[in-house]
């Protein structure tokens, strides 16, 4: 009797459906992992201009791009505003900002840092487009679109209150 019970309790393990799941799940997870790495941008907080900076040599340019509702203000933290780029009919003029920053880069080729200062109401889309305009130059070389670094080290902070707005 005991030999019959042993034979009837031995069952085969069917893992076919589990293997099918793994065959589909592993490539899916690997593809998603690659896309998440590409989407990461390194950003830092703006560096404090004060403190014990007496021994440090003065930097040639401390670039700030302030994003307001109706314009961009490109400024040097040490000297003040360099250029005001008004908003175009279709929105912020990212092309004009990028073109002006190219000129600034030719005058200061060793500077790689820029700080983007935003108003509280600035949309995420405007932030990303502004970061792209500050970080890279897009041009064509032999008919192929090419990207070059402009100011790749980007910091993000809050813009000072808009002096053109009344009351605040």
The structural domains of the chain, with segments of one domain joined by +, span: 61-158
C-alpha–C-alpha distance, residues 83 and 102, integer Å: 13
- What are 18's two structure tokens? 């589990």
The H-assigned helical ranges of the chain are 2-9, 16-38, 94-107, 124-135
- Range scoring the smallest mean pLDDT among 17-26, 43-52, 83-92: 43-52
pLDDT of residue 70: 86
pTM recorded for the entire structure = 0.64
Q: How many residues does the chain have?
A: 168
C-alpha–C-alpha distance, residues 13 and 62, integer Å: 67
43 bridge partner residues: 154
C-alpha–C-alpha distance, residues 43 and 16, integer Å: 46
Task: Assess whether pLDDT exceeds 80 at residue 6.
Answer: no
Task: Assess whether pLDDT exceeds 70 at residue 4.
Answer: no
Q: Which of 168, 134, 166 is nearest to 41 (CA)?
A: 134
140 bridge partner residues: 145
Q: What is the mean pLDDT of residues 103-121?
A: 89
The secondary element (H helix, E strand) that includes residue 141 is: strand 136-141
Decide: helix, strand or coil at residue 121: coil
In angstroms, the Cα distances linking 104 to 16, 48, 62 are 63, 22, 11
- What are 72's two structure tokens? 């961009």
Question: Taking all residues of the chain, what is their mean pLDDT, rounded to a whole number?
Answer: 81
∠120-98-47 over CA atoms, to 5°? 50
C-alpha–C-alpha distance, residues 123 and 28, integer Å: 32
Give 45 or 71, the one with higher predicted confidence: 71
Q: What is the mean pLDDT of residues 89-96?
A: 88
Task: Assess whether pLDDT exceeds 80 at residue 97.
Answer: yes
In tens, the pLDDT along 12-34 reads 788 899 999 999 999 888 887 76
Architecture of domain 61-158: 2-Layer Sandwich (3.30)
């Amino acid at each position: 009797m005991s030999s019959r019970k042993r034979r009837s309790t031995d069952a085969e393990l069917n893992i076919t459906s589990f293997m099918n799941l793994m065959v589909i799940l592993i490539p899916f997870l690997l593809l998603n992992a690659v896309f998440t790495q590409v989407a990461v941008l390194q950003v830092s907080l703006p560096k404090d201009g004060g403190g014990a900076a007496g021994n440090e040599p003065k930097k040639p340019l401390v670039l700030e791009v302030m994003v307001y509702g109706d314009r961009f203000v490109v400024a040097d933290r040490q000297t003040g505003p360099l250029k005001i780029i008004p908003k175009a009919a279709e929105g912020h003029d990212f092309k004009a900002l990028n073109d002006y920053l190219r000129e600034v880069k030719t005058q200061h080729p060793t500077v790689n840092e820029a700080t983007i200062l935003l108003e509280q109401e600035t949309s995420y889309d405007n932030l990303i487009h502004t970061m792209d305009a500050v970080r890279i130059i897009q041009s064509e070389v032999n008919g192929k679109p090419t990207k070059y670094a402009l100011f790749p080290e980007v910091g993000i902070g809050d813009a000072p209150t808009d002096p053109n707005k009344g009351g605040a």
